[in-house]
Every structure is written in C-alpha cells, then in structure tokens.
Amino acid sequence: MQSVYGGLATKSNMTYEIVTTPYKWKVKRQDKDIEELRFYLARMFPQVIVPPLPHVRKNKRMTQRQMIKKERRYERFFNAIFKSHILRSNEFLLEFFKQTDLVVFKKKKESAMEQPSPKSIFDFATLSGQIEVSADMKSIDYFDKVSFFLPLLREKSRLICTKVKKLQTTANKLADEYFAIAHEISALAVEYKKVESD
C-alpha cells in the first residue's frame, strides 16, 4: 500500500492519493476520511486493536517534510489494518480503498457511520463467527480452583446469612429490653424527685 501526497490542500484537510497494491486501486481521500475510517473500525470492532493515527494540526500550514512524515504514518496505519483478517474483510474498508466515485463513497461512508455498534460479545464480527479466548495455564488452574471452591462458598454464605438474621432478631429484642429498662429508670427518677421535694 502506498500513500502519495497529491498536492491538494484545504487548510488542515489535505487530499491524498492512495494506491493499493497489488490490486492497483487508486483513490483520493482526505484527512477527515481517514479519521472517520479509524473511528468506524474502532467502534465496530472493539475486540481488535485499531492502530492510532498521526496527530493532525488543525489550520496550520505544514512543511513538505511534515507532510511526508504524516503520509508515512498513514501508510503504516493502512498496512497494520490490512494485516488483520477481520478488519480487511469489512465491506466499508474495501469501499474506502476501491471506490473512486466520491459521491458514491460519501453515501457508503454515511451508511457505514449509521450502522449500530456491537452491544454484546455475541455481536462481534469475526471470520468464524466465534470469539476466541486464550488463557495461560495459571488462569486455567485458578478457574479450576474457583469452580471447586464455589459450592463451599455458597454453603458458608447461607450459614453466615442465617447467623446474621438470628443476630439481628436478637439485637432487636435486646434493643427493646434496653429501651424498657431506660423507661423504668426514667420513671424511677421522676418518683425520686417527688420524694426529694416533699
């Protein structure tokens, strides 16, 4: 894949000629298009690490050297995307590199941006339709031990809950008894004051 500066610039939004080899696709895309592509991929494929884009200075004139440096970063970005089997099978990504008609591309982009993002792990797009989960031996061993521990945890939790409920009942009764004692002491104090005043 090759990213070539086409010499067109509108303030911060330059136009690039992107040539995809070996297919010989040649399209013109702007900074904004590339940013929207990355946003789309990151939103639609949360299980895939989408590489970052170079920082674009808004409304600042760039030197020829800076433009070449940014083009190389875009090229690395595109190459990294095409290394992912999941990303490169996406329809909008292919349209990004193939569609030469800008009006048609704009409609495709708007349609892609309106697509709902995955809400659960079952909505993730993969080649096989399944989510791959990898775990090392320590993780597997840990979860085996946790599975063995869970019945004991449930049993002890029930026992603790029963004890706590009994304690709460006893505590409520004790609180009533303390209140009754306090009431009797208050009544005794009133009677004592009467005796004292006589």
Q: For residue 155, what pLDDT is reported? A: 87
Would you list the domain boundaries of the chain? Answer: 2-123, 134-198
Cβ atoms of residues 100 and 38 within 8 Å? no
Report pLDDT digits (tens) over 32-46.
Answer: 999 999 999 999 988
Query: What pLDDT was estimated at residue 5?
Result: 41
pLDDT in tens, the chain (198 residues): 444 444 343 345 678 888 888 888 899 999 899 999 999 999 998 888 898 887 766 667 778 888 888 888 999 999 989 888 888 888 999 999 999 999 999 999 999 999 988 887 767 766 665 555 555 566 666 766 777 778 888 888 888 988 888 888 888 888 888 888 888 888 888 888 888 776
Q: Determine contact, residues 45/121, Cβ cutoff 8 Å.
A: no
CATH architecture label of 2-123: 2-Layer Sandwich (3.30)
pLDDT of residue 124: 74
* Type of residue at 121: I
Give the N- to C-terminal CA distance of the chain in Å, as an integer: 109
Structure tokens belonging to residue 132 = 């791959």
Residues 6+ apart with CB under 8 A from 55: none
Percentage of the chain modeled with pLDDT above 90: 22
DSSP H stretches of helix in 121-136: none
3-state helix vs strand vs coil in the chain, percent to 5 = 60, 10, 25
